[in-house]
Amino acid sequence: MLVIRPLQETDLDDLFRMAGSAGKGLTTLPADRGMLERKISHARDTFSQRCAPEAGLYLFALEDIALRRCVGISGIQARVGLDEVFYNYRLSVTVNASRELGVHVRTPTLHLTNDMTDTTEICSLLLADSHRGGGNGLLLSRCRFMFLDDFRKHFSDKVFAEMRGVSDGGGQSPLWDALGSKFFDMEFAEADRLSGLGNKSFIAELMPKYPIYLPMLPPSARAVIGLVHDNTVPALKMLQAEGFNFNGLVDIFDGGPVVEAFVHNIRTVRDGINRHVLVRHQPVNLQVPVEERVMVSNRSFRDFRVTTIPAQLIGPDTVSLPRNVADALGVESGDPVRLAPLKGSWPSPIHSVRDYHKLDYGPRDFSSRG
The least CB distance from residue 218 to other proteins, in Å, is 10
96 binds other proteins (CB under 8 A): yes
CA distances from 233 to 19, 89, 333, 353 (A): 20, 21, 41, 34
Nearer to other proteins, 183 or 366 (CB): 183
CA distances from 322 to 237, 272, 283, 331 (A): 33, 21, 6, 11
The partner residues of 227 in beta bridges, in order of sequence, read none
83 binds other proteins (CB under 8 A): no
Nearer to other proteins, 38 or 351 (CB): 38
202 binds other proteins (CB under 8 A): yes
The partner residues of 77 in beta bridges, in order of sequence, read 57, 121
184 binds other proteins (CB under 8 A): yes
The strand ranges marked E within 28-148 are 57-64, 69-77, 88-98, 103-113, 120-127
The least CB distance from residue 225 to other proteins, in Å, is 14
Which stretch, 206-214, 222-230, 303-311, 329-337, contacts other proteins (CB under 8 A)? Answer: 206-214
The least CB distance from residue 89 to other proteins, in Å, is 14
The strand ranges marked E within the chain are 2-6, 57-64, 69-77, 88-98, 103-113, 120-127, 158-162, 212-213, 245-250, 257-262, 273-280, 293-297, 306-310, 318-322, 336-341
How many Å separate Cα 34 from the centre of its chain?
Answer: 23
The partner residues of 280 in beta bridges, in order of sequence, read 322
Catalytic residue among 104, 131, 154, 229: 229
- C-alpha to C-alpha distance for 155 and 303, rounded to whole angstroms: 18
Nearer to other proteins, 189 or 290 (CB): 189
The least CB distance from residue 182 to other proteins, in Å, is 4
Active site residue 229: yes
Q: Which of 207, 266, 269, 340 binds other proteins (CB under 8 A)?
A: 207
185 binds other proteins (CB under 8 A): yes
The least CB distance from residue 176 to other proteins, in Å, is 14
Which string of DSSP letters, residue by residue, matches 110-139?
Answer: EEEE-TTTT-EEEEEEEE-GGG-STTHHHH
Nearer to other proteins, 8 or 107 (CB): 107
Which stretch, 42-50, 52-60, 208-216, 317-325, contacts other proteins (CB under 8 A)? Answer: 208-216
Q: Which of 50, 68, 101, 283 binds other proteins (CB under 8 A)?
A: 101
93 binds other proteins (CB under 8 A): no
Q: Which of 197, 206, 233, 359 binds other proteins (CB under 8 A)?
A: 206
Give me the helix-helix angle, 12-22 and 33-47, nearest 10°.
130
Q: From 193, 202, 220, 186, select the one nearest 35 (Cα to Cα).
A: 193
- C-alpha to C-alpha distance for 54 and 153, rounded to whole angstroms: 10
213 binds other proteins (CB under 8 A): yes
215 binds other proteins (CB under 8 A): yes
Query: Residues in contact with other proteins, total (CB under 8 A)?
Result: 30
Q: What is the dihedral of CA 226, 231, 234, 235, to 10 degrees?
A: -70
- C-alpha to C-alpha distance for 126 and 135, rounded to whole angstroms: 14
- C-alpha to C-alpha distance for 247 and 292, rounded to whole angstroms: 33
Q: Which of 216, 245, 355, 367 binds other proteins (CB under 8 A)?
A: 216
Give the binding site for other proteins (CB under 8 A): 94, 96-98, 100-101, 103, 105, 107, 109, 179, 182-185, 194, 199, 202-203, 205-208, 210-213, 215-217
Catalytic sites, residue numbers = 229
